[in-house]
């Protein structure tokens, strides 16, 4: 047996004194994988649960850039994230250790391991100096870090994009985070981080574990930097991603959790919502007012207001009667607009169809005594669907089909899922703070025996290999006290964590999966309802891999400048790290009163969120864009830019669904060797080409922005701007304008003009803008399909290239878009050409502006075949 000793890393003090760690035996090295037994190396310390005496180690070189390391219990009883929730990546091209970009090494006793980069032998992850702890309710591992590391990820949170590395704790436990408090855990669980070491490259570490955890980043008393996992269950299931560029890490992560799902073209339009629309007539009036203000009202949403007594799958018969709602939705569809409603998981515990049907199909979570678990949410006493129940998809499909049917209900185009952490306002019956729902009656008054609850569920019986969780754990008050911002127990304002699902897993283990599972079941219900259409599903609560089926809005933010600013970092985390690119915050803020300056600036920033929705709370004044003239002006200008860029955005998003390359990029993704870009989270690249640098302070008309050492072009004038790797000040930026630059080396397909709807937009031709790089060349892409079908029978995929005065367009031209590239705009031209000729020898008319160095040619190139334009 070959034992590879780890290098001379600085020692790290034990996280828990006296715990013996483990010893590796029976090591089997197969070249493409390695297995070993791990035995407790001394007396059990049993600090936060019982130490497990025997573990298993399994290491797989799954690809040249991905290493999978699992440490789990020998009996296979300890809970693991079900493959039904997050399917494991298939490795058809498993590699050997000698061919891998990263290497696994270990120390036999006390057991520790390291991951190093093959070419440079740089250590990326090293647990030496701290002993592995694997207990029934507590897992602990530390890795050493370089000093002042550049760390990103570990969401969901509203902290800076580059994480604090001094006395920093990030709790990962989904919760209802009203007003998004600073420095706390929020709605989602994404235990993934990227570490970027500049010229030495970047790597990623993903811990596939859905249990509550505290991840701590700090320094020891002697100054050594470390990252420490404190996990309250499950197993260590690590994926190490080699990079070496930050964007490579993101692409490799998509291979693990799945690339994002394609959404309909109209989903990138403007969305309008409010909690507090009093009736269907007010919603219709909002659509009318947007139209009158010449602001595209692409999709209207209604919050909980449309429900009868706030019961899911109902309409208020007085304020939102069925005939009026059907007429309203028909009007929207006739005008190429769309409609989305909110659906939450809590089903009113009352005599109505959604509850009766759920009882009949045994679809709700149960107490251990067999009675339906009761909580309290908007409609009062509620039941909660059990997303692990075998009947749950059928139940949810039926509710969708009966309520959202075009023939009998309200024909929605997309779905908004709220409160799915799941939120529970208080332990029923609520009037006694010491009570729990365990005291609920075991029978349902007024229901026949066929609708009474089944036999009780229990966690006590477990079998080898079932991976459902160890018995005899304290599922309500675990011994380790996490930094839970919600309250003193992990069940605070959510479902009781001692509930057992239909498949035998405890809510304690799968709480962080609840929101994503609801999104998945709801997506399937939408597909059942509209089989040929791409679902548009937006959810609040997420887990790793959620983007493969849904998008995410950033929750109940506040109308403040700080939340405006931090929305950029939050958006970057989801789009560029967590692979959830359909993301955005409530524009202008959800809670509180906005100011005119903030309102104007946020309306323009929001136009560069992938998901662009205006939404606010019922007790604040309405904030539709048309209500203030300056805001309306700003929104019109920003939406005009967004819509002309919509195909550029759609193409970038399509590329992320195929390769994982992000639609949004922090500056260090584009300039990974420039240290000045590493902390920047107030600028963002929209795709690879459009640099967005919003004004971020109140009442200001100037902003300091960083321009890397490269050539850029001002969006509004086309004038070249030479970045020198320094911060520059943009002055006199009018309130209705957002600073934008095009990065040299890119070709951008723009619609020639905007439109009132995305349907009308698709009828506009293209102006192809060429922004040459410092070497005089540029490239770009354009993807077009029918914009809504789940499966595409034909597509248009075009590659643009510009070099040495020659523009070429080639690719696959199966889909006929019905429009052409009407104009070709070349930026940064020092003079005008003698002649411009197309590939058939036709001379082209053009205009040249010597002041801005912009050349515009009237080319009229068909998007049905290869084309070439020569500039003599």
Please state, in angstroms and rounded to a whole number, the distance separating the CA atoms of residues 599 and 586. 12
Peptide bond into 380 cis (omega under 30): no
Please state, in angstroms and rounded to a whole number, the distance separating the CA atoms of residues 626 and 107. 65
Cβ contact 574:627 at 8 Å: no
Dihedrals φ, ψ of 512, to 5°? -70, -10
How many residues in the chain?
872
Specify whether 214 is catalytic: no
Vertex 68 angle, CA 64 and 69, to 5°: 140
Which one of 159, 367, 556, 586 is the catalytic residue? 556
Closest to 306 (Cα-Cα) out of 282, 286, 270, 280: 280
For tokens 């990326």, what's the residue?
A: 124
Which one of 413, 421, 498, 507 is the catalytic residue? 421
Closest to 596 (Cα-Cα) out of 570, 563, 632, 572: 632
Please state, in angstroms and rounded to a whole number, the distance separating the CA atoms of residues 127 and 113. 6
Identify the burial level of 621 via C-beta atoms within 10 angstroms of its C-beta, where 0-12 means exposed, 13-18 middle and 19 or more buried: exposed
| DSSP type of residue 576 | I
Closest to 817 (Cα-Cα) out of 771, 770, 861, 850: 861
Helix (H, G, I), strand (E, B) or coil at 771: strand
The alpha carbons of the chain give a radius of gyration, in whole angstroms, of 28
Dihedral sign of CA atoms 509, 511, 517, 518 in order = positive
Specify whether 248 is catalytic: no
Identify the burial level of 707 via C-beta atoms within 10 angstroms of its C-beta, where 0-12 means exposed, 13-18 middle and 19 or more buried: buried
Dihedrals φ, ψ of 59, to 5°? -120, 130
Please state, in angstroms and rounded to a whole number, the distance separating the CA atoms of residues 311 and 482. 34
Dihedral sign of CA atoms 36, 37, 42, 48 in order = positive
Vertex 292 angle, CA 290 and 297, to 5°: 25
Record the tokens describing residue 311, joined without a space: 């019961």
Closest to 175 (Cα-Cα) out of 163, 165, 185: 185
Cβ contact 506:495 at 8 Å: no
List the beta bridge partners of residue 867.
809
**Which DSSP string corresponds to 439-475?**
GS-SS-TT--GGGS--S---S----TT--S--SS--S
Helix (H, G, I), strand (E, B) or coil at 631: helix
Specify whether 17 is catalytic: no
Please state, in angstroms and rounded to a whole number, the distance separating the CA atoms of residues 516 and 532. 22
Dihedrals φ, ψ of 519, to 5°? -60, -40
**Which DSSP string corresponds to 587-647?**
ET-SBSPPPHHHHHHHHHHHTTSSSEEE---TTS----GGGSHHHHHHHHHHHHHHHHTHH
Please state, in angstroms and rounded to a whole number, the distance separating the CA atoms of residues 371 and 442. 5
Which one of 176, 237, 418, 785 is the catalytic residue? 418
Cβ contact 375:437 at 8 Å: yes
- Annotated catalytic residues are 418, 421, 556
């Amino acid at each position: 047996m070959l034992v590879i000793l780890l290098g001379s890393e600085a020692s790290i003090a034990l996280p828990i004194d006296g715990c013996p760690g483990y010893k590796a035996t029976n090591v089997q090295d197969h070249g493409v994988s390695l297995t070993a037994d791990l035995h407790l190396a001394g007396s059990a310390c049993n600090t936060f649960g019982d130490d497990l005496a025997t573990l298993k180690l399994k290491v797989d070189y799954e690809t040249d850039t991905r290493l999978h390391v699992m440490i789990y219990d020998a009996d296979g009883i300890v809970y693991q994230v079900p493959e039904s929730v997050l399917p494991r990546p298939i490795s058809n091209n498993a590699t050997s250790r000698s061919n891998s970009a990263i290497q696994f090494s270990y120390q036999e006793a006390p057991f520790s391991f390291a991951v190093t980069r093959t070419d440079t032998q740089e250590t990326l992850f090293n647990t030496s100096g701290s002993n592995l702890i694997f207990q029934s309710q507590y897992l602990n591992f530390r890795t050493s870090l370089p000093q002042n590391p550049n760390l990103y990820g570990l969401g969901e949170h509203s902290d800076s994009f580059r994480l604090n590395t001094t006395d920093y704790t990030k709790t990962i436990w989904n919760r209802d985070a009203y007003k998004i408090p600073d420095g706390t855990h929020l709605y989602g669980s994404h235990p993934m981080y990227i570490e970027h070491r500049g010229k030495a490259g970047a790597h990623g570490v993903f811990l596939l574990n859905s249990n509550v955890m505290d991840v701590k980043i700090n320094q020891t008393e002697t100054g050594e930097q470390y990252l420490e996992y404190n996990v309250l269950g499950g197993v260590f299931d690590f994926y190490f991603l080699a990079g070496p560029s930050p964007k490579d890490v993101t692409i490799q992560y998509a291979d693990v959790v799945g690339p994002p799902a394609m959404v309909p073209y109209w989903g990138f339009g403007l969305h309008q919502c409010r909690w507090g629309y009093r009736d269907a007539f007010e919603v219709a009036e909002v659509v009318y007012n947007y139209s009158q203000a010449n602001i595209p009202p692409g999709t209207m949403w209604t919050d909980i207001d449309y429900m009868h007594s706030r019961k899911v799958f109902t309409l208020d018969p007085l304020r939102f009667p069925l005939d009026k709602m059907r007429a309203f939705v028909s009007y929207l569809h006739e005008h190429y607009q769309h409609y989305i409603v909110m659906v939450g998981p809590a089903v009113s515990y009352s005599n109505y169809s959604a509850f009766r049907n759920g009882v009949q199909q045994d679809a709700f979570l149960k107490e251990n005594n067999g009675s339906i678990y009761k909580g309290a949410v908007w409609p009062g006493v509620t039941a909660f669907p059990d997303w692990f129940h075998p009947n749950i998809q059928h139940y949810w499909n039926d509710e969708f089909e009966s309520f959202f049917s075009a023939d009998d209900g309200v024909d929605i185009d997309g779905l908004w899922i709220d409160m799915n952490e799941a939120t529970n306002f208080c332990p029923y019956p609520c009037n006694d703070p010491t009570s729990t729902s365990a005291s609920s009656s075991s029978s349902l008054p007024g229901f026949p025996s066929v609708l009474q609850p089944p036999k009780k569920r229990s966690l006590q019986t477990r079998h080898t290999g079932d991976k459902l969780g160890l018995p005899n754990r304290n599922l309500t008050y675990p011994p380790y006290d996490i930094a839970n911002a919600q309250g003193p127990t992990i069940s605070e304002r959510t479902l009781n964590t001692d509930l057992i699902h239909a498949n035998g897993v405890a809510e304690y283990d799968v709480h962080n999966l609840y929101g994503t599972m609801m999104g998945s079941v709801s997506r399937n219900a939408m597909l059942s309802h509209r089989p040929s259409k791409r679902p548009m599903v937006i959810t609040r609560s997420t887990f790793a891999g959620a983007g493969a089926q849904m998008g995410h809005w950033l929750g109940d933010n506040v109308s403040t400048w700080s939340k405006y600013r931090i929305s950029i970092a939050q958006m970057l985390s989801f789009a560029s790290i967590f692979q959830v690119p359909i993301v955005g915050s409530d524009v202008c803020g959800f809670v509180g009163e906005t100011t005119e300056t903030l309102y104007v600036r946020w309306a323009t920033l929001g136009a560069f969120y992938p998901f662009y929705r205006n939404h606010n709370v019922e007790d604040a004044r309405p904030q539709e864009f048309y209500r203030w003239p300056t805001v309306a002006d700003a929104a019109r200008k920003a939406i005009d830019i967004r819509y002309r860029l919509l195909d550029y955005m759609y193409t970038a998003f399509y590329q992320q669904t195929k390769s994982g390359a992000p639609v949004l990029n922090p500056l260090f993704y584009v300039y990974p060797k420039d240290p000045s870009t590493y902390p920047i989270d107030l600028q963002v690249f929209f795709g690879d080409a459009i640099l967005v640098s919003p004004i971020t302070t109140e009442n200001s008309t100037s902003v300091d922005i960083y321009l890397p050492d490269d050539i850029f072009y001002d969006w509004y004038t086309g004038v070249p701007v030479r970045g020198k790797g320094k911060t520059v000040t943009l002055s006199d930026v009018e309130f209705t304008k957002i600073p934008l630059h095009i990065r040299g080396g890119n070709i951008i397909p723009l619609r020639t003009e905007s439109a009132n709807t995305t349907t009308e937009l698709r009828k506009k031709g293209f102006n192809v803008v060429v922004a040459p790089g410092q070497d005089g060349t540029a490239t770009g892409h354009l993807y077009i399909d029918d914009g809504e079908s789940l499966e595409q029978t034909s597509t248009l995929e075009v590659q643009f290239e510009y070099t040495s005065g020659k523009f070429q367009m080639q690719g696959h031209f199966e889909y006929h878009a019905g429009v052409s590239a009407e104009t070709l705009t070349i930026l940064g031209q020092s003079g005008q050409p003698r002649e411009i000729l197309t590939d058939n020898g036709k001379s082209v008319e053009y205009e040249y502006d010597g002041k801005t160095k912009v050349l515009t040619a009237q080319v009229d190139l068909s998007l049905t075949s290869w084309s070439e334009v020569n500039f003599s």
